[in-house]
Structure 1
Amino acid sequence: MGQCFPKNANDGEDSDRQVEFAGGNVHLVTTMESWDQKLSEAIKDGKIVIANFSATWCGPCRMIAPLYIELSEKHPSIMFLLIDVDELTEFSTSWDIKATPTFFFLRNGQQIDKLVGANKPELQKKIAGILKSIPSES
Protein backbone atom coordinates (compact mmCIF):
# COMPACT_ATOMS: atom_id res chain seq x y z
CA MET A 1 0.00 0.00 0.00
CA GLY A 2 0.96 3.66 -0.09
CA GLN A 3 4.08 4.68 1.71
CA CYS A 4 6.71 7.37 1.44
CA PHE A 5 10.42 7.07 1.88
CA PRO A 6 12.36 9.68 3.87
CA LYS A 7 13.62 12.83 2.18
CA ASN A 8 16.96 14.30 3.13
CA ALA A 9 15.86 17.90 3.55
CA ASN A 10 12.76 19.50 4.95
CA ASP A 11 12.58 21.79 1.88
CA GLY A 12 11.51 24.64 4.16
CA GLU A 13 7.95 23.39 4.52
CA ASP A 14 5.90 24.83 7.36
CA SER A 15 5.31 22.56 10.31
CA ASP A 16 1.92 24.33 10.50
CA ARG A 17 0.70 21.75 8.01
CA GLN A 18 1.05 19.14 10.77
CA VAL A 19 -2.16 20.50 12.26
CA GLU A 20 -4.25 18.65 9.66
CA PHE A 21 -2.67 15.40 10.89
CA ALA A 22 -3.58 15.82 14.55
CA GLY A 23 -7.17 16.24 15.61
CA GLY A 24 -9.80 14.33 17.51
CA ASN A 25 -7.99 12.40 20.23
CA VAL A 26 -4.65 12.26 18.40
CA HIS A 27 -1.80 13.60 20.53
CA LEU A 28 1.03 15.29 18.63
CA VAL A 29 4.42 14.26 20.04
CA THR A 30 7.07 16.91 19.35
CA THR A 31 9.63 16.18 22.08
CA MET A 32 11.15 13.19 23.82
CA GLU A 33 9.63 14.50 27.06
CA SER A 34 6.12 14.44 25.61
CA TRP A 35 6.72 10.89 24.28
CA ASP A 36 7.85 9.71 27.73
CA GLN A 37 4.91 11.48 29.39
CA LYS A 38 2.30 9.99 27.04
CA LEU A 39 3.81 6.50 27.30
CA SER A 40 3.82 6.69 31.12
CA GLU A 41 0.24 7.93 31.09
CA ALA A 42 -0.84 5.04 28.83
CA ILE A 43 0.92 2.45 30.98
CA LYS A 44 -0.65 3.92 34.15
CA ASP A 45 -4.11 3.88 32.52
CA GLY A 46 -3.60 0.42 30.98
CA LYS A 47 -4.09 1.78 27.47
CA ILE A 48 -2.75 0.40 24.21
CA VAL A 49 -0.75 3.04 22.29
CA ILE A 50 -0.71 3.47 18.53
CA ALA A 51 2.27 5.56 17.47
CA ASN A 52 1.96 6.92 13.94
CA PHE A 53 5.35 7.93 12.51
CA SER A 54 4.40 10.32 9.74
CA ALA A 55 5.60 13.27 7.62
CA THR A 56 3.83 16.38 6.37
CA TRP A 57 5.19 15.93 2.82
CA CYS A 58 4.02 12.31 2.57
CA GLY A 59 0.92 11.83 0.40
CA PRO A 60 -0.13 8.48 1.91
CA CYS A 61 0.29 10.00 5.42
CA ARG A 62 -2.09 12.82 4.47
CA MET A 63 -4.48 10.29 2.94
CA ILE A 64 -4.77 8.18 6.10
CA ALA A 65 -4.74 11.10 8.59
CA PRO A 66 -8.55 11.67 8.55
CA LEU A 67 -9.15 7.96 9.25
CA TYR A 68 -6.56 8.00 12.07
CA ILE A 69 -8.36 10.99 13.63
CA GLU A 70 -11.74 9.29 13.19
CA LEU A 71 -10.45 6.09 14.81
CA SER A 72 -9.06 8.11 17.74
CA GLU A 73 -12.52 9.52 18.38
CA LYS A 74 -14.18 6.12 18.00
CA HIS A 75 -11.79 4.27 20.35
CA PRO A 76 -11.02 6.37 23.46
CA SER A 77 -9.64 3.25 25.19
CA ILE A 78 -6.59 3.49 22.87
CA MET A 79 -4.04 6.31 22.97
CA PHE A 80 -3.29 7.65 19.48
CA LEU A 81 0.05 9.41 19.06
CA LEU A 82 1.52 11.20 16.04
CA ILE A 83 5.26 11.63 15.58
CA ASP A 84 6.63 13.78 12.75
CA VAL A 85 9.75 11.98 11.49
CA ASP A 86 11.29 15.32 10.43
CA GLU A 87 10.79 16.91 13.86
CA LEU A 88 12.08 13.91 15.84
CA THR A 89 14.61 12.52 13.37
CA GLU A 90 16.90 10.73 15.84
CA PHE A 91 13.95 9.26 17.72
CA SER A 92 12.39 8.02 14.45
CA THR A 93 15.72 6.51 13.44
CA SER A 94 15.87 4.67 16.78
CA TRP A 95 12.54 3.03 15.81
CA ASP A 96 14.06 2.02 12.46
CA ILE A 97 11.50 3.96 10.41
CA LYS A 98 12.22 3.20 6.74
CA ALA A 99 8.93 4.49 5.28
CA THR A 100 5.98 6.62 6.34
CA PRO A 101 3.45 6.16 7.65
CA THR A 102 4.56 3.47 10.06
CA PHE A 103 2.25 2.53 12.91
CA PHE A 104 3.55 0.85 16.07
CA PHE A 105 1.13 -0.79 18.48
CA LEU A 106 2.42 -0.78 22.07
CA ARG A 107 1.22 -2.43 25.27
CA ASN A 108 3.03 -1.46 28.49
CA GLY A 109 5.62 0.34 26.37
CA GLN A 110 6.45 -2.82 24.38
CA GLN A 111 5.76 -3.31 20.67
CA ILE A 112 3.00 -5.84 20.03
CA ASP A 113 2.39 -5.10 16.34
CA LYS A 114 3.47 -2.90 13.45
CA LEU A 115 1.98 -1.68 10.17
CA VAL A 116 3.97 0.03 7.40
CA GLY A 117 2.04 2.01 4.80
CA ALA A 118 -1.34 3.72 4.53
CA ASN A 119 -3.38 0.53 4.41
CA LYS A 120 -6.76 1.62 5.79
CA PRO A 121 -8.42 -1.84 5.97
CA GLU A 122 -5.34 -3.35 7.64
CA LEU A 123 -5.13 -0.52 10.19
CA GLN A 124 -8.81 -1.00 11.07
CA LYS A 125 -8.32 -4.78 11.28
CA LYS A 126 -5.32 -4.45 13.62
CA ILE A 127 -7.22 -2.04 15.87
CA ALA A 128 -10.23 -4.39 15.97
CA GLY A 129 -7.89 -7.27 16.94
CA ILE A 130 -6.30 -5.19 19.68
CA LEU A 131 -9.70 -4.15 21.04
CA LYS A 132 -10.69 -7.83 21.27
CA SER A 133 -7.52 -8.53 23.28
CA ILE A 134 -8.38 -5.88 25.88
CA PRO A 135 -10.34 -7.35 28.78
CA SER A 136 -13.64 -5.52 28.97
CA GLU A 137 -14.49 -3.80 32.20
CA SER A 138 -17.93 -5.01 33.17
Structure 2
Amino acid sequence: MATREITLEGFAEVVEQNDIVLLDFWAAWCGPCRMFAPVFEKASEQHADIVFGKIDTEDQRELAAAFHISSIPTLMVFREGVVVFSQPGALGAQQLDQLITGVRGLDMDAVHADVAAHQQQRAEQTQKEAVR
Protein backbone atom coordinates (compact mmCIF):
# COMPACT_ATOMS: atom_id res chain seq x y z
CA MET A 1 0.00 0.00 0.00
CA ALA A 2 1.31 3.43 -0.88
CA THR A 3 1.28 6.35 1.51
CA ARG A 4 -1.89 8.33 1.84
CA GLU A 5 -2.68 11.90 2.79
CA ILE A 6 -4.26 12.23 6.23
CA THR A 7 -6.44 15.21 7.14
CA LEU A 8 -8.22 16.26 10.30
CA GLU A 9 -11.53 15.11 8.84
CA GLY A 10 -10.39 11.51 8.29
CA PHE A 11 -7.84 11.18 11.07
CA ALA A 12 -9.96 9.49 13.75
CA GLU A 13 -11.39 6.96 11.32
CA VAL A 14 -7.94 5.94 10.07
CA VAL A 15 -6.53 5.50 13.58
CA GLU A 16 -9.59 3.69 14.93
CA GLN A 17 -10.07 1.30 11.99
CA ASN A 18 -6.46 0.15 11.50
CA ASP A 19 -4.22 -1.89 13.78
CA ILE A 20 -0.97 -0.03 12.99
CA VAL A 21 -0.76 3.51 11.61
CA LEU A 22 2.52 5.33 10.93
CA LEU A 23 2.19 9.07 10.45
CA ASP A 24 4.80 11.33 8.89
CA PHE A 25 4.28 14.99 9.84
CA TRP A 26 6.08 16.94 7.10
CA ALA A 27 6.20 20.10 4.99
CA ALA A 28 7.23 20.68 1.37
CA TRP A 29 9.91 23.24 2.33
CA CYS A 30 11.61 20.84 4.80
CA GLY A 31 14.83 19.27 3.46
CA PRO A 32 14.94 16.38 5.96
CA CYS A 33 11.26 15.70 5.18
CA ARG A 34 12.06 15.38 1.48
CA MET A 35 14.97 13.03 2.30
CA PHE A 36 12.74 10.83 4.50
CA ALA A 37 9.84 10.67 2.02
CA PRO A 38 11.31 7.93 -0.23
CA VAL A 39 12.24 5.80 2.82
CA PHE A 40 8.68 6.13 4.14
CA GLU A 41 7.18 5.41 0.71
CA LYS A 42 9.32 2.29 0.20
CA ALA A 43 8.37 0.96 3.65
CA SER A 44 4.70 1.51 2.80
CA GLU A 45 5.11 -0.72 -0.24
CA GLN A 46 6.79 -3.45 1.84
CA HIS A 47 4.19 -3.47 4.65
CA ALA A 48 0.77 -3.55 3.00
CA ASP A 49 -0.99 -4.32 6.30
CA ILE A 50 0.11 -1.00 7.84
CA VAL A 51 -1.32 2.43 7.05
CA PHE A 52 1.41 4.93 6.18
CA GLY A 53 -0.08 8.41 6.36
CA LYS A 54 1.43 11.76 5.53
CA ILE A 55 0.25 14.90 7.30
CA ASP A 56 1.26 18.17 5.64
CA THR A 57 1.81 20.47 8.63
CA GLU A 58 1.27 23.56 6.48
CA ASP A 59 -2.12 22.36 5.27
CA GLN A 60 -3.19 20.56 8.47
CA ARG A 61 -2.11 23.09 11.10
CA GLU A 62 -4.89 22.14 13.53
CA LEU A 63 -3.90 18.46 13.45
CA ALA A 64 -0.21 19.30 13.86
CA ALA A 65 -1.05 21.58 16.80
CA ALA A 66 -3.20 18.91 18.43
CA PHE A 67 -0.12 16.66 18.60
CA HIS A 68 2.23 19.50 19.60
CA ILE A 69 4.39 19.04 16.50
CA SER A 70 7.26 21.50 16.82
CA SER A 71 9.90 19.80 14.63
CA ILE A 72 9.53 18.09 11.30
CA PRO A 73 9.70 15.50 10.13
CA THR A 74 8.05 13.86 13.12
CA LEU A 75 7.12 10.20 12.96
CA MET A 76 4.22 9.04 15.12
CA VAL A 77 2.99 5.46 15.40
CA PHE A 78 -0.41 4.28 16.62
CA ARG A 79 -1.16 0.67 17.50
CA GLU A 80 -4.74 -0.21 18.35
CA GLY A 81 -5.50 3.49 18.70
CA VAL A 82 -2.68 4.18 21.18
CA VAL A 83 0.35 6.36 20.42
CA VAL A 84 3.26 3.97 20.96
CA PHE A 85 6.02 6.07 19.36
CA SER A 86 6.56 9.73 18.58
CA GLN A 87 9.89 11.25 17.63
CA PRO A 88 11.11 14.12 15.48
CA GLY A 89 13.81 13.49 12.91
CA ALA A 90 14.20 11.43 9.77
CA LEU A 91 14.92 7.72 10.13
CA GLY A 92 16.96 5.57 7.79
CA ALA A 93 15.43 2.51 6.15
CA GLN A 94 16.99 0.11 8.66
CA GLN A 95 15.85 2.19 11.64
CA LEU A 96 12.31 2.37 10.26
CA ASP A 97 12.25 -1.40 9.72
CA GLN A 98 13.44 -1.94 13.31
CA LEU A 99 10.72 0.39 14.57
CA ILE A 100 8.05 -1.50 12.61
CA THR A 101 9.32 -4.82 13.96
CA GLY A 102 9.22 -3.42 17.49
CA VAL A 103 5.70 -2.07 17.09
CA ARG A 104 4.48 -5.41 15.72
CA GLY A 105 6.02 -7.16 18.74
CA LEU A 106 4.37 -5.00 21.40
CA ASP A 107 2.27 -6.73 24.04
CA MET A 108 -0.82 -4.62 23.51
CA ASP A 109 -2.65 -6.12 26.51
CA ALA A 110 0.13 -4.69 28.69
CA VAL A 111 0.06 -1.37 26.82
CA HIS A 112 -3.71 -1.03 27.27
CA ALA A 113 -3.36 -1.94 30.97
CA ASP A 114 -0.69 0.76 31.40
CA VAL A 115 -2.88 3.33 29.64
CA ALA A 116 -5.86 2.42 31.86
CA ALA A 117 -3.72 2.67 35.01
CA HIS A 118 -2.40 6.07 33.92
CA GLN A 119 -5.92 7.33 33.20
CA GLN A 120 -7.08 6.10 36.60
CA GLN A 121 -4.20 7.93 38.30
CA ARG A 122 -5.05 11.14 36.46
CA ALA A 123 -8.73 10.83 37.40
CA GLU A 124 -7.83 10.31 41.06
CA GLN A 125 -5.46 13.27 41.01
CA THR A 126 -8.13 15.45 39.41
CA GLN A 127 -10.61 14.39 42.10
CA LYS A 128 -8.14 15.24 44.87
CA GLU A 129 -7.51 18.66 43.38
CA ALA A 130 -11.26 19.32 43.05
CA VAL A 131 -11.78 18.51 46.73
CA ARG A 132 -9.16 21.03 47.86
TM range (shorter): 0.7 to 0.9
Q: Select the residue among 2, 8, 11 that pairs with 1:35.
A: 11
Displaced runs of 4 or more, over 2 A: 121-124, 131-135
Instruction: Give a deviation string over 1:49-103, Cα, whole Å, max 9, x none.
Output: 1111111110011001011011001011211111000011121011011110101
Secondary structure of residue in 2 paired with 1:115:
strand
- The CA deviation at 1:110 is 1.3
CA contact (8 A) 2:79 2:103 kept: no
Gaps of 5+ in 2: 109-132
Equivalent residues in 2 for 1:1-138, closer than 5 Å: 25-29=2-6, 31-42=7-18, 47-120=19-92, 121-133=94-106
Structure with more relative contact order (C-alpha pairs < 8 Å, separation 6 or more): 1
Q: 1:75 to 1:132 in 2, by over 3 A?
A: same
Amino acid at match of 2:104: L
Gaps of 5+ in 1: 1-23
- Structure 1 or 2, whichever has the larger Rg, is 2
- Looking at secondary structure, tell me which structure has more helix per residue: 2
- Normalising by structure 1, we get a TM-score of 0.70
- The CA deviation at 1:122 is 2.8
Amino acid at match of 2:16: S
